[in-house]
Amino acid sequence: MFLEFAADSPAVRAATHARGDELTAVLEITDVAPVAVPHRIRGRAWVSGWLTSVPGIAEPGRMMLRLEFGEAYVDDLWGAEDIEPEDFRDAAPDPLVRHEAELLQHLASAHDEQMRTLCGLLGERAGAPNRPNAVPVALDRFGLRVRFVESRDACFDARFEFPEPVRDVTELRRAMRTLFEAAAS
């Protein structure tokens, strides 16, 4: 993993003076939902390994550091697990990752009533006297995760899988239309 820092940062100074693989590091990543919702942290990940400098790659005043993978751990909405080095190396980004924040914000602000209809797909929970607020909290090629907020202190998540993984925003529009139609019927 390559990380870019200011050339005078403490991490760069430490990596520049280290010999071989003597500088260990842990990168902690926190994923925060891009919409206003209770419990906004969607997940955390930790990647640990050895940090070395990679001169000559970054712009002037910057320095590229390489974090050689040792181990990783993810704790998110889908569960917690260790990540194997091969899985980490071979992982491909989700095709919606660049658009996820914008799409979730759009769904939350412009499609509130359609989001609320998703409550109809929840089975027994759909019969509650008051329909909870439905806030989209995560979106990927496989589906949509919605946080249903019943009150200030009560909320729950539901995952709505697409019939097949989407490859782009055009396919996402079709999948969302199908989801909303199923919820409305």
| pLDDT, tens only, 142-185 | 999 999 988 777 889 999 999 999 999 999 999 999 999 999 88
| Structural domain for 69, as ranges | 2-90
49, part of any domain: yes
Judge if 6 and 81 occupy the same domain.
yes
Q: Please report whether residue 35 resides in a domain.
A: yes
Same domain, 84 and 126: no
Kindly state whether residues 82 and 55 are assigned to the same domain: yes
Q: How many domains does the chain have?
A: 2
Examine the domain organization and report whether 75 and 121 are in the same domain: no
pLDDT of residue 95: 96
Give pLDDT, residue 151. 77
Burial 3-33 (b: 16+ CB within 10 A, else e): bebeeeeebbeebeeeeeeebebeeeeeeeb
Q: What's the CA gap between 171 and 112, in Å, rounded?
A: 21
In a shared domain, residues 78 and 120: no
Q: Give 17's DSSP letter.
A: H
Q: Is residue 95 part of a domain?
A: no
What pLDDT is recorded for position 129? 61
Residues 137, 61 within the same domain = no
| Residue type (1 letter), 121 | L
Q: What are phi and psi of 8, to 5 degrees?
A: -100, 15
One domain, residues 111 and 150: yes
CATH number, position 120: 3.20.180.10
Q: What is the pLDDT of residue 127?
A: 54
Are residues 64 and 15 both part of a single domain? Answer: yes
In the chain, which residues have pLDDT < 70?
Answer: 124-130
Query: Is 83 among the domain residues?
Result: yes
- Please report the pLDDT score of residue 19 as a whole number: 81
The predicted pLDDT at position 128 comes to 58
DSSP summary character for residue 28: E
Does 16 share its domain with 54?
A: yes
Q: Within a domain: residue 137?
A: yes
